[in-house]
């Protein structure tokens, strides 16, 4: 099979670096170019010592003739501009920004406080494969979900679809993320001296922008907007998200079983046996999600979803989406499948 | 005034060390002795390089004649034995273990899976001064609250007392603690290599022992046992607790105001202005609690309580209790009151 | 005694914050003002949640009439400008920048690649009290040493003064610092995501600017410039310096004893007994230096000096210098002396 | 090619886990069994959540009939016992303990304070491939070097072989290791609460056991025992070693060039261009060594060697040795060679 030529916009950020790592060893992909505005003309190796020696160019100098598919690790609004350019040249797009996630530009403007630069691109299929991979096969563009949205939706959607969440009850999501979720641009609150020894909530309640995409997806199962209370926190570690969802149900044990059954055939989402709890150690540096569903009482289910925010929360999910888009087996490039002789693949 | 002679049992643990630090500079106290079973005969300085050169002795060699009050930083069941001995010799007791916290020995046995060694000592006043300091004045023994219990009760009791929590709704507490909460004894799960880069829940739902004392205190305000869902987590940092309580109320904004009003005259509990959120950085290495009460929706209040688990969650609260027990101004030894010329005391 | 009115320039940086903390409880000082260019008009509490509610003003708006002494926590070159202004108004100066440390403006220009803005201010007494406190008594201005310089000089000067370092041998200093040494301004290399899990050398050999002041002080004992090889490193922690000096001597054991003897009466510099090694845990959050002198072979002495880079390496040393400048007992404000009844003062 | 059946003794320790990870995807190896005394009868997954579901057995129950080669991640003295058993059954041995590293049992006894349990096994080829891979081809047993020894020897041996180190000068090695180097067994000094925020030297001078093997290897180039001064330190991070060697030479620049030339064709040892310094970020989670050689003065070379202590310092080096022992290309299983289409392999 011919290699698919891919371009990575925003390669020196944390998600861009992970994409280089994954696509660099993907058997069906070849990295055609990588962009960075701040480091154009330099090598990616100057940005990260373990990176390959890939030359960086500015986004404006990209030639779309020699590329089949682009991954956009750009700030929102900038991403839509590049997406529009690429699609106009018949280059497929996987957008890791928020620009293609919200179907309705009015809703986008509410959450992002800015008019959508290219509303004509919307809607675009939302790329969370375990919650609906059919709509992603062979498409031209995929909106890659947010990291918090991935962790939250993996826990809630199976319950919502089966009508297990009690009506008119609030759903609490207390989520904690490693610092890489805040990006690689120097900011006062992500300095080592501010994060080390600290733990801090932010945007509690209805303030976080991922609520928009979370409730859009939940609405497809009849979950009314406004019921979600979302509390994100900054953890003193570099990567990983653990999201605890507190859901009122009529039978917590049965709901836990339903969640396990929903994912039983998924290779990248693992519901742990009863009694085990999902932790960051289950998933960091892997494309996996680990889920534990624990009855907190007869009528309250505690769902913990752990993912690596840069992988299942961004770049490895983007590769799943890439595989589906190009009709390649979905986990290609994400497991050690070629060389693994042992009982089961694993990510030690 | 004559100095009160104090003894510290279990001085080489994390809470014992903090008590040595606090009582060593307390204007009304003099450390008479400090015990350690594993280091008897050695100096406290060998256990912690910044400690004073205090000789350590075994608990069995203590002479109660030369001491007025003892602080017990011992494992549960062992602590009750020493408490009984001390009280029998007219030495007052502040117990930092769980042994004196639960009024009913049957309930104690349910949570701690062991018969109470000295049920005749019960009940003992529960030493959380901001929730009731009158009952602590001049008493012979005080049960010092658990760290998670302190953080949880500071947030919930004012709401429960005023009947603000909607009846028959679950109360969710998602709490996160630094590793020192697990003690200083070497264990596989508190090794640096296991905690660094990780974040993990444990004992989710109704499993944590502090639920016993939390619900006992809440019951005084008519809050029925069993409504609490408690999720503790281990943070990759050394100290501090942040407990997020999710409480269904009829008016979240009014409830937030009620909480602020409740604590408005408290020197050691600070409810932050609306828009600010409590973090570990507000409180680590201080005797303070910082609280933020944020409406998550019209009917749901998110209460974040931050404390230093070793101070307000243990040793500085023990000093508050000591001061009340001996009729000394409650914050003595806890603020820089003697030398502070500036606008307000602070803990930078 | 009347309080000395002090002003702090650059109060929102790490060393500025420590000065506020120390001077806020100093029995002879009163903070008259604090400056910050980026936060002028706001409260210091917005910069650091444990700080007192001190209003911040810009440096240009300072009125020198109501202040006796200023502490300068400013970038080099800016600091000299303020120093000149203050001294012109008979206000005394303790400069924590590099501007007053180098006696010869030509040497300053070599290390700092910029002409000294006020060479007429030079020379100024170098404020490392344990190496010469007489020259600091009652002076108008003191140059507060650099953090690495303090750690290095405390280890080497006693050996150099007694002629114990073998002539024409290189002196190796392998020094490691917590990240706060790089300041609080957001930079790419001090982001949490870059420092966590990393350890990195920088400016190896003859590149670090502190070499200038180190060799200037060593030269007073006949140690020729150019013999020092200095390797600084960034540690994945917030504060503390451990500097290991490798010194060729004729008798390592005797040299170790000489070092211990030199500091035997110093309250803030502690040479550990043989067999114990200085660590960050000995000193972080204290004004102390801990030193261990260990023979690495018969003719090679390994001197480890541990300090808190923000305290003995900056702000608590500035308070020592302040005390000497104003003829106050040198450790005033730095020990719990007023209330300590126990065997010895300590910093648990 | 038929798969080589391998057994891993001590699979639940940090180096054992890394071997499972590497050998589990090695194209020529198949894991036949894994042992653990503390977890015999359980699954490796219970020890580490990302591990495959491999059953653990006790060492005494191993059947050597179905295995071609064993890796020993056991405490010293225990390791030699298993090595002797395995070799007696014609099973090849790669020993990650110290038991086969020292040629002379008398020297072993000096460093390890215990008689060698099987002196008849000695000497065994020392498996540091870049310093001599010929002697490892097809052998029955290989002694895998210590982590500190690997980092130190990679820097010093090329200089020693070419006679570049000035005679009778001391060689200083100031080395820093992540905490996993201390093993996974709970100990007081490796608790999170003791390591977080700390940095500590230990065994300074001539105390560390790795000096024995380091000087044995250096002696082959005429470097006299006793000249090495070795200062190990514990870093507040989980993995990685950075060893700084300070070497007196006649021409520091020429010596730096000699080092670069020595490794110019090595795939796993990279000497960085002048001006770049080796850091942990270059190597953690890779089988690489990164080296920078920086003149500290005309006659003093500073060699920084960075490795992952669990990989190049233990388990990936064991795989290099395994490959050489079985005449497989040396980097098999260590690079993404099968699927990499881009300019160069890399470990982002």
CA distance C291 to C283: 10
Closest CA to C191 of A21, B235, B197, A178: A178
- Given a cut of 80, whether residue D341 has pLDDT beyond it is no
* Cβ–Cβ below 8 Å for D49 and A290: yes
User: Does the CB of B275 have a partner CB in chain C at under 8 Å?
Assistant: no
- Considering only residues 169 to 198 of chain A, which have any Cβ-Cβ distance to chain C shorter than 8 Å? 179-180, 184, 186-188, 190-197
Q: Say if CB A250 and CB B173 are below 8 A apart.
A: no
CA distance A42 to A55: 6
Enumerate residue ranges in chain C where pLDDT < 70.
1, 335-348
User: Does the CB of D301 have a partner CB in chain C at under 8 Å?
Assistant: no
Q: What is the pLDDT of residue A336?
A: 55
Q: Which residues of A touch B249 (CB under 8 A)?
A: none
Instruction: Please check whether the domain covering A147-307 is classified as CATH 3.30.360.10.
Output: yes
CB hemisphere CA count around D170 (13 angstroms): 24
* Cβ–Cβ below 8 Å for B336 and C25: yes
Closest CA to A158 of A71, A88, A251, A256: A256
Q: Mean pLDDT in chain B?
A: 94
Q: Which residues of A touch D30 (CB under 8 A)?
A: 341-342
The gap between the terminal CA atoms of chain C, to the nearest Å, is: 30
User: Does the CB of D42 have a partner CB in chain B at under 8 Å?
Assistant: no
Q: List, in order, residues 6 or more apart from C244 with CB less than 8 Å away.
A: C173, C174, C175, C302, C303, C304, D174, D201, D231
**What does pTM read for this prediction?**
0.96
Nearest to C348 among B21, B341, B348 (CB): B21
**Percentage, residues of chain B above pLDDT 70:** 96
Q: What is the pLDDT of residues B72-120, one digit of tens each?
A: 999 999 999 999 999 999 999 999 999 999 999 999 999 999 999 999 9
Mutate to test the interface with B, among C339, C340, C343 (most CBs of B within 10 A): C339
The whole-number average pLDDT for the span B58-70 is 96
Q: Say if CB C317 and CB C335 are below 8 A apart.
A: no
* Angle between helices D14-24 and D315-325 in degrees, nearest 10: 50
Q: Say if CB D16 and CB D183 are below 8 A apart.
A: no
Nearest to B244 among A201, A240, A296 (CB): A201
> Nearest CA of chain A to the CA of D279: how many Å?
9
Closest CA to A298 of A255, A245, A244, A243: A255
Closest CA to A314 of A3, A111, A19: A19
Q: Mean pLDDT in chain D?
A: 94
Q: Say if CB D324 and CB D318 are below 8 A apart.
A: no
Q: What is the pLDDT of residues B300-338, one digit of tens each?
A: 999 999 999 999 999 999 999 999 999 999 999 886 543
CA distance C235 to D176: 10
Q: What is the pLDDT of residues C321-332, one digit of tens each?
A: 999 999 999 999
- Given a cut of 90, whether residue B342 has pLDDT beyond it is no
CA distance A56 to C86: 50
Closest CA to A156 of A310, A316, A307, A291: A291
Q: List, in order, residues 6 or more apart from A6 with CB less than 8 Å away.
A: A23, A29, A30, A31, A32, A67, A68, A69, A70, A71, A322
Q: What is the pLDDT of residue A343?
A: 45
Ramachandran bin of A333, using left for φ above 0, alpha for ψ from -120 to 50, beta for the remaining angles: left
At residue D337 the predicted structure's pLDDT band, cuts being 50, 70 and 90, is very low
Instruction: Tell me what percent of chain B is helix, strand and coil, each rounded to the nearest 5.
Output: 30, 20, 45
Enumerate residue ranges in chain A where pLDDT < 50.
337-345, 348
User: Does the CB of C31 have a partner CB in chain B at under 8 Å?
Assistant: yes
Q: What is the pLDDT of residues D170-208, one digit of tens each?
A: 999 999 999 999 999 999 999 999 999 999 999 999 999
Strands of the sheet with B141-143, listed across from one edge: B56-57, B29-35, B4-9, B69-72, B92-95, B141-143
CA distance C15 to C23: 12
In sequence order, what are the beta bridge partners of C177? C234, C241
* Cβ–Cβ below 8 Å for A184 and C188: yes
In the B/D pair of chains, how many CB contacts fall below 8 A?
56
- Given a cut of 70, whether residue B344 has pLDDT beyond it is no
* Cβ–Cβ below 8 Å for C193 and A236: no
At residue D336 the predicted structure's pLDDT band, cuts being 50, 70 and 90, is low
User: Does the CB of C30 have a partner CB in chain B at under 8 Å?
Assistant: yes
* Cβ–Cβ below 8 Å for D191 and B197: no
Class of domain D4-144+314-325: alpha beta
CB hemisphere CA count around C63 (13 angstroms): 3
Nearest CA in chain B to A205: B296
Q: What is the pLDDT of residue D340?
A: 47
List the chains bordering chain C where 3 or more Cβ pairs fall under 8 Å: A, B, D
> Nearest CA of chain D to the CA of B190: how many Å?
6
* Cβ–Cβ below 8 Å for B346 and C51: yes
At residue D1 the predicted structure's pLDDT band, cuts being 50, 70 and 90, is low
Q: Which residues of C touch B52 (CB under 8 A)?
A: 342-346, 348
Higher pLDDT, residue D25 or C308: C308
Q: What is the pLDDT of residues C12-71, one digit of tens each?
A: 999 999 999 999 889 899 999 999 999 999 999 999 999 888 999 999 999 999 999 999
Q: Say if CB B272 and CB B278 are below 8 A apart.
A: yes
In the A/D pair of chains, how many CB contacts fall below 8 A?
100
CA distance B11 to A336: 51
CA distance C260 to C272: 8
In the C/D pair of chains, how many CB contacts fall below 8 A?
148
* Cβ–Cβ below 8 Å for D238 and B192: yes
Closest CA to A281 of D16, D49, D21, D236: D49
* Cβ–Cβ below 8 Å for C49 and B197: no
- Given a cut of 80, whether residue B262 has pLDDT beyond it is yes
Q: Say if CB D246 and CB D296 are below 8 A apart.
A: yes
Q: Mean pLDDT in chain C?
A: 94
User: Does the CB of B295 have a partner CB in chain D at under 8 Å?
Assistant: no
CA distance D306 to C233: 13
Q: What is the pLDDT of residues D278-328, one digit of tens each?
A: 999 999 999 999 999 999 999 999 999 999 999 999 999 999 999 999 999
Residue spans of alpha helices (H) in chain C: 14-24, 78-88, 105-112, 147-161, 192-195, 210-219, 252-262, 315-325
A147-307 and A4-144+314-325 share a CATH fold: no
> Nearest CA of chain B to the CA of D50: how many Å?
13
Nearest CA in chain A to D11: A348
Q: Say if CB C23 and CB C88 are below 8 A apart.
A: no
Domain spans in chain A, listed from the N-terminal domain onward: 4-144+314-325, 147-307
Q: Which residues of A touch C238 (CB under 8 A)?
A: 192-193, 196-197
A211's enclosing H/E stretch is helix A210-219
**Three-class secondary structure of residue B334 per DSSP:** coil
* Cβ–Cβ below 8 Å for A193 and C184: yes
Q: What is the pLDDT of residue C125?
A: 98
The gap between the terminal CA atoms of chain D, to the nearest Å, is: 30
Mutate to test the interface with C, among B18, B28, B50, B287 (most CBs of C within 10 A): B50
């Amino acid at each position: 099979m011919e290699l698919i030529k891919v371009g990575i916009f925003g390669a020196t950020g944390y998600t861009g670096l992970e994409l280089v790592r994954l696509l660099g060893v993907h058997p069906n992909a070849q990295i055609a170019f990588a962009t960075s505005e701040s480091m154009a003309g330099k090598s990616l190796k100057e940005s990260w010592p373990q990176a390959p020696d890939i030359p960086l160019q500015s986004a404006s100098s990209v030639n779309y003739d020699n590329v089949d598919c682009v991954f956009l690790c750009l700030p929102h609004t900038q991403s839509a501009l590049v997406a529009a350019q690429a699609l106009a040249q018949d280059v497929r797009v996987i957008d890791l920004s928020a620009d293609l996630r919200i179907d309705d530009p009015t809703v986008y403007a509410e959450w992002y406080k800015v008019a959508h630069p290219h509303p004509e691109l919307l809607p675009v299929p939302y790329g969370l494969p375990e919650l609906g991979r059919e709509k992603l096969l062979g498409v031209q563009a995929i909106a890659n979900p947010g990291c918090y949205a991935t962790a939250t939706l993996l826990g809630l959607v199976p319950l919502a679809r089966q009508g297990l969440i009690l009506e008119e009850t609030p759903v609490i999501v207390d989520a904690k993320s490693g610092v890489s979720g805040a990006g690689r641009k120097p900011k006062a609150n992500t300095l080592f001296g501010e994060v080390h020894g600290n733990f801090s909530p932010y945007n509690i309640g209805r303030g976080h922008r991922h609520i928009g995409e979370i409730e859009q997806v939940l609405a497809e199962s009849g979950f009314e907007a406004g019921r979600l209370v979302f509390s994100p926190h900054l953890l003193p570690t570099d990567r990983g998200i653990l999201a605890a969802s507190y859901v009122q149900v009529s039978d917590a044990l049965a709901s836990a079983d339903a969640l396990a059954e929903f994912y039983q055939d998924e290779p990248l989402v693992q519901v742990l046996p009863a009694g085990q709890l999902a932790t960051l150690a289950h998933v960091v540096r892997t494309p996996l999600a680990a889920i534990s569903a624990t009855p907190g009482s007869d009528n309250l289910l505690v769902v913990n979803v752990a993912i690596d925010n840069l992988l299942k929360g961004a770049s490895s999910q983007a590769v799943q989406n890439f595989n589906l888009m190009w009709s390649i087996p979905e986990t290609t490039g994400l497991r050690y499948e070629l060389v693994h002789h042992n009982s089961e693949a694993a990510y030690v």
